[in-house]
Amino acid sequence: MSDYTAAELQEMEAEFSAMDAEFAGLGLEEMDSEFGEAFAELDAELDAAGISLLDVEATSISEMADNDYDAQFIGRFLRNKAKKLIATVVRLVKRYGKCAKCAPKVLAAVKYFKAKKYASAIRAAYDAYRCIRACTKK
């Protein structure tokens, strides 16, 4: 049974709906369903080996763009998107205290952001979001 009031649950659902809309355009959920089991096994192996984060930037920003201007645009877009999503998951994990177990996932997103690995930061923010959503449903 949930410890949340009906008003809190409605507000939480609104927040999660907004986050779902943010992440939907990124295609992360489809990637998770396609590769989820393989990633879960890999994550378990990495954790067992003492490697908690794996940086999997598939391509550099310059490889995604036709010219330097486009590369700068893509970089700014990813940075701004990551910043917004991370700010939201930070707020959510602080708001829902019983989700403290999700804080390391939020911290991973922040570390990627500080390292200017914005695509990885977005992916880590999505992982944190899923953790927060799951812990609030208990």
Query: What pLDDT, on the 0 to 100 scale, is given for residue 20?
Result: 77
Query: What pLDDT, on the 0 to 100 scale, is given for residue 107?
Result: 93
Q: Could you tell me the two tokens for 125?
A: 């923010």
Query: What pLDDT, on the 0 to 100 scale, is given for residue 111?
Result: 93
Chunk the chain into consecutive blocks of 10 residues (it has 138) and report each block's average pLDDT, rounded to whole numbers. 62 76 67 52 61 49 70 82 90 87 93 90 90 84
Per-residue exposure over 99-111, b if at least 16 CB sit within 10 Å of its own CB, e if not: beebbebbebbbe
Query: What pLDDT, on the 0 to 100 scale, is given for residue 23?
Result: 72
Where exactly are the structural domains of the chain?
Answer: 6-136
Query: What pLDDT, on the 0 to 100 scale, is given for residue 86?
Result: 92
DSSP codes of every residue in 22-70: HHHTTTHHHHHHHHHHHHHHHHHHHHHTT--------S-HHHH-SSHHH
